Amino acid sequence: MDSLSFWNRTLMEPMIIDIILVQESPNPSSELTSPAASGTEASTETVIERWMVQYEGQRLMAPQIGEATYKKMYRKSIILLRSVHAMLRLLPAYKAFRKLCSLKQNCDFVINYKVCSFSSPFSRAEEESMKKYSFVPIDIQPGRLSVSVIYREDLSDFNLDVLVSCPPQIITDYVERGNQILPPHFSDLTAGQVVCIRMFLHHRANPLGSPPLHRSPYEYSPSPTETYIHRNQNQRFPTHQKTTSDDLLSPPFSSSPSPSPPTYLSGGNTVQSRLRSETAPVSIPHPMMGRSPRFLSPNLSDPSRHSLPPLSPRNTRYDPSSHESSSGIRSMRRLDSLRAGESSSGPINVSPKVARDAKEDSGRFSSLLSSGSSPRVGFSRSSSRLSFQDDFGDCDFSCPFIVDDVDPPDSQASLNPDGTKSSEVSSQASSTAKKSQDAAVGILVHMLKTAPPLRQDSGYYTSQSSKIEFEGEVGAASEFFKPRKTSDALEELKVYKEMKDLLLSKSAARLVGKEKRWT
């Protein structure tokens, strides 16, 4: 309103009100811009509406105006003012003004106005794109008041709708929507952590299937993790693999020698127990990797070797190369069949022998552990046992020291008539059997030593000798952990036999001496 004050002083001059559209981006079409536009680099001003109000006064003094005239002037002024008021709201600039008011901070244009008594005329091109309407002047003695408007009929050239087409919206249920994708307890995790967890679950369910996951939108289902595991159990190698999933593989799944979650690497037993219960996967160090390549799987050159656990050193020792390759292929086939349609619980048909072996033959698994990540082992344990059982079933193993079948401690205890001592020995034997295959040799030797005596009256001496032998056994047990050959064992057996004979002879001599004394 302050800008209108100057016009009141000069009543005879027209009052021109320009409605200017100011856009931030420069308008390349300079023809349509007003010559009065500043044309700054950052903004473009365009007159979109121009109102001209002019009072054309008469030079001659008008006669005195009667009341009727005033009434008429009043009625006409009311009609004019209301018409202008209604017209303003029908013009395109008002629509832009309303958009500007509704989206204040998200519009790239501003509407300004300018009041002046003179203005530069529009160019011919501008006039062609504009419409003019002149209100019928009203007689206001001593002159008359005229109002006219020139406006742009179409503002689509300025793309005002595009600028306000994407108003900001507050997603009120953003957190809830995100929680719907993941299980509730995953709501606090980041996207990367979620992917890692998913990869973990996949590997846990299908450790042999190490290729990267196929990230499809269906993976982000709100179903619990169990169903996710079961769903992935039936997946073969996905044909479509995205590289992004490789990048999102969590460190625990890498074959690095460094231990990953330190809480899990508390010891070999702990690892083995975890394997048995198929808990969290760990990256286990590979102490046997540096020993000898012969202990590794013979299928190193096989591209699918990464899906198979390496064979145990025992098996590699006695398997011919040709047989190893064939066994590897057969095991791979079996593993594929197992992976295809079986659940995470393991193979369907597990013989008691295999089950028993799986329960006790942890020595093999330690080697398996050392050569790969645990998730593979955890799943492949029984399956590999099954495959190995079949592979070696046809072979003729005459050497008794190949531990394919390790009798349970109960069977060992049943052979020993000595109650307490045998139970102690059996427990010790069972503990040593778990550690290494060499301990099994010691057990066998011990079995021979604890065999029932040849004579019953030598029970005391046998107990004494067994005690001595037990003591000696403890010291010798350490020796049994060394790798031994069959010949060594036979020699040792001979030594023990000689010792036994010697002891028996001595005891017999004592008895004879006693009898002579009594007599």
Binding residues (CB under 8 A) for another protein: these are 67, 70-71, 74-83, 85-87, 89-90, 94-95, 98, 133, 135-136, 138
Provide the minimum distance between the beta carbon of 197 and another protein in the complex, in angstroms, as a whole number. Answer: 42
**71 vs 177, beta carbon nearer another protein:** 71
- One-letter identity of residue 144: R
| 73/350 with CB nearer another protein | 73
Give me the count of residues in the chain: 519
Hey, how many other C-beta atoms are within 10 angstroms of the C-beta on 165? 10
Q: Is 19 exposed, middle or buried (0-12, 13-18, 19+ CB in 10 A)?
A: buried
Scanning 16-155, the segments in alpha helix (DSSP H) are: 67-90, 92-102, 124-128
Burial class of residue 144 (count of CB atoms within 10 Å of its CB; 0-12, 13-18, 19+) = middle
C-beta closer to another protein: residue 161 or 479 = 161
**151 pairs with which residues across the strands?**
49, 131
- CB of residue 63 vs another protein: minimum separation in angstroms? 18
CA gyration radius for the chain? 49
Rounded Cα distance between 452 and 450, Å, is: 6
Instruction: Name the phi and psi angles at 116, rounded to 5.
Output: -155, 170
Smallest distance from another protein to CB 115, Å = 19
Name the residue nearer to another protein (CB basis): 92 or 442.
Answer: 92
CB of 113 to another protein, least distance (A): 18
Minimum CB–partner distance for residue 57 and another protein (Å): 20
Q: What are phi and psi of 232, to 5 degrees?
A: -80, -15
Q: How far is the CB of 58 from another protein (least distance, A)?
A: 20
Task: Tell me whether residue 20 or residue 138 sits nearer to another protein (CB atom).
Answer: 138
Nearer to another protein, 55 or 237 (CB): 55
| Contacting residues for 83 by C-beta, under 8 A, at least 6 apart | 135
Strand 143-152 and strand 44-57: the pairing is antiparallel
Report in angstroms how near the CB of residue 204 gets to another protein at its nearest: 48
Helix/strand/coil (H/E/C) assignment for every residue in 379-433: HHHHHHHHHHHHHHHCCCCCCCCCCCCCCCHHHHHHHCCCCHHHHHHHHHHHHHH
Q: What minimum distance in Å lies between the beta carbon of 16 and another protein? A: 21
Helix axes 374-393, 268-277, angle to 10 degrees: 80
Nearer to another protein, 12 or 65 (CB): 65
CB-nearer residue toward another protein: 101 or 495 = 101
